Chains A and B, each alone.
Chain A
Amino acid sequence: MPSVSESVPTERTRKRLAVSVQDVSVTYRTTFERVPTFKSAITRLGRGERAVREVEAVKGVTFDVTHGTTLGIIGSNGAGKSTLMRTVAGILPPTSGRIDVYGRVSTLLALGVGFNAQLSGRENVVLGGLAAGLSRSQVEEKYEEIAEFAELGDFMEMPMRTYSSGMFSRLAFAVAVHMDPDILLIDEALSAGDARFKRKAQQKMGELLGQARTMFLVSHALGSVKELCNDAIWLNKGQLMLRGTPDDVIAAYTKFLEVGEDAFTLEDL
């Protein structure tokens, strides 16, 4: 049967595979309290309530990504996009299923990771690099390039608490893209900085793509998904709805948003 032989990766395709997600489900229990405290736990116990809720964030998602792909991930809030990214990054292990990642992953999932607001931008670049798994000498090698890319000028020597949020995310973005990742995971980071920096960020990502790097991009900005990505998936309530070219997937997603969930079927397309 042709379908079977296609789904089994040959030695050749396996080499080019960057990420393979196989029937992955992620379920976790979390609390809906804003700040969980012992005090509220006791009062709840008195009332016999439970504040823990099970979330099925990702349900049976399967897809493969080859090297050199920029995959756009779209979907409404709470569709499981960020959870899927964390699972690929190894931060939140899947409840069931299997994920194979071939290469070094750099993540930009929460801004300012490993950054300390009391320290200067320069020191934070070193910290961020170390947190991403680079050695100190490697970070120092890249420092000039990162500083130049972030365009913060004298602010590099000032504590990060003096930064505006745009400057903060510019530096975070600059650090993440200069870590020479094989696979770069980005969550909504293109909203970083002003229009000029956005264009620069897009350029840099195009450059990374030129080096056959792989990128996952979670974004609500459908325009940038269309522009940057050459592949896209659409998640809804933890399930994979559609995989295809960005144009097709965005068209389907936009239609889905217009007509609403009940009236929508994929066959309408």
Chain B
Amino acid sequence: MWLVINPLLLALVYFLLVDILSGRGLGADYFAHLLAGLFAFYFVAGTITTGAASVVGGGKLVMNTAFPRLLLPYSAERTALWRFLPTLVVYFAVHVASGRPTTLVLLLAVPILGLLILFSAGIAAFFATLQVYFRDTASFLPYFLRIWLYLSPVLFTVQDISDRLEKHGLLWLGYLNPLFSLLGMWSEVLTSNQVPSASMWAVGVGWSVAAFLLGSMFFMSREREFAVRL
């Protein structure tokens, strides 16, 4: 129950915040966008937070049993995913209530969710490894994630920021943030009923595959040491 209420309250807080700060009346459109973005972001953040703690938390298991260590962060992601899926139902209730069209474009959300899963698995594996070497990683992770949230197209829409960046020829700056393209596409598909541009797809796929491969490889290159570092 709290899995649904929690992000919903959070969305309400941000909605009021942005509504007051921007000083203009924001509609149901914006709320739908905010909800979609926040839910997806908290799925990624949840995967990273629990994934980062998975290896150190599973210390005894790691020291006693031989098994593919990558299963630890990946199973953390699985848990996060099961928590995320019910929030999608909430989103769709808002989606319909706010009069967003339900078209085939929505199906594109599935591959985008796949990219998000791939991306956060890689980042979770990276932080899980880091946590073994620096146990205080967990203490600055929340701040890092909070800043990441503000830099990602969750509170603002990807259209707002792309336009502004493009005016100065700085669109590449946005692409530096992996979640710019991933969450941008997510929101475009879900709330704007828009097929994301080819460059968005390219950057999103690139980031996800790179994060997954590099994060997992970094993890595997270090996993032998886990048994003696824990």
Judging by beta carbons under 8 Å apart, are A89 and B228 in contact?
no
In the complex, what distance in Å separates the CA atom of A35 from the CA atom of B227?
15
Q: Which of A38, A41, A90 contacts B66 (CB 8 A)?
A: A90
For residue B65, which residues in chain A have a CB less than 8 angstroms away from its CB?
A: 89, 91, 107, 113-114, 131-132
Judging by beta carbons under 8 Å apart, are B228 and A28 in contact?
yes
B208 to chain A, nearest CB (A): 27
Which residue of A30, A91, A92 has the most chain B CB atoms within 10 A of its CB atom? A91
Q: Which of B60, B136, B227, B229 contacts A86 (CB 8 A)?
A: B227
A35-B61 in contact given A28-B225, A92-B228 (Cβ < 8 Å): no
A130 to chain B, nearest CB (A): 11
Judging by beta carbons under 8 Å apart, are B135 and A37 in contact?
yes
Judging by beta carbons under 8 Å apart, are A110 and B60 in contact?
yes
For residue A109, which residues in chain B have a CB less than 8 angstroms away from its CB?
A: 63-64
For residue A105, which residues in chain B have a CB less than 8 angstroms away from its CB?
A: 66
Q: Report the nearest B residue to A127, measured CB to CB.
A: B61
Judging by beta carbons under 8 Å apart, are B134 and A38 in contact?
yes
Q: Report the nearest A residue to B66, measured CB to CB.
A: A90
For residue A28, which residues in chain B have a CB less than 8 angstroms away from its CB?
A: 224-225, 228
In the complex, what distance in Å separates the CA atom of A110 from the CA atom of B227?
11
For residue A132, which residues in chain B have a CB less than 8 angstroms away from its CB?
A: 65
Judging by beta carbons under 8 Å apart, are B133 and A36 in contact?
yes
For residue B136, which residues in chain A have a CB less than 8 angstroms away from its CB?
A: 37-39
Judging by beta carbons under 8 Å apart, are A107 and B135 in contact?
no
Q: How many residues of A contact B (CB 8 A)?
A: 29
Q: Is there a chain A Cβ closer than 8 Å to B79's Cβ?
A: no
A137 to chain B, nearest CB (A): 20
Question: Per-position contact with B for A110-133: 1 when CB-CB < 8 Å, else 0?
Answer: 111111000000000000000110
Q: Which of A30, A112, A115 contacts B228 (CB 8 A)?
A: A30
A56 to chain B, nearest CB (A): 12
Q: Is there a chain A Cβ closer than 8 Å to B177's Cβ?
A: no
For residue B137, which residues in chain A have a CB less than 8 angstroms away from its CB?
A: 38
For residue A86, which residues in chain B have a CB less than 8 angstroms away from its CB?
A: 63, 227
Judging by beta carbons under 8 Å apart, are A92 and B64 in contact?
no
Interface residues of B in 43-90 (CB under 8 A from A): 60-66
Judging by beta carbons under 8 Å apart, are B227 and A107 in contact?
no
Q: Which of A31, A91, A131 contacts B63 (CB 8 A)?
A: A91
Q: Which of A55, A111, A131 contacts B61 (CB 8 A)?
A: A131
Q: Which of A38, A93, A108, A131 contacts B224 (CB 8 A)?
A: A93
A36-B135 in contact given A86-B227, A92-B228 (Cβ < 8 Å): yes
Task: Give chain B's interface residues, CB within 8 Å of chain A.
Answer: 60-66, 133-137, 140, 224-225, 227-229
Task: Give chain A's interface residues, CB within 8 Å of chain B.
Answer: 28-31, 35-39, 41, 55, 86, 89-93, 105, 107-115, 131-132
| Sample of 19 A–B contacts (CB below 8 Å) | A31-B229, A35-B135, A36-B229, A38-B134, A38-B136, A86-B63, A89-B64, A89-B66, A91-B62, A91-B64, A92-B227, A108-B64, A110-B63, A113-B60, A114-B64, A115-B60, A131-B61, A131-B65, A132-B65
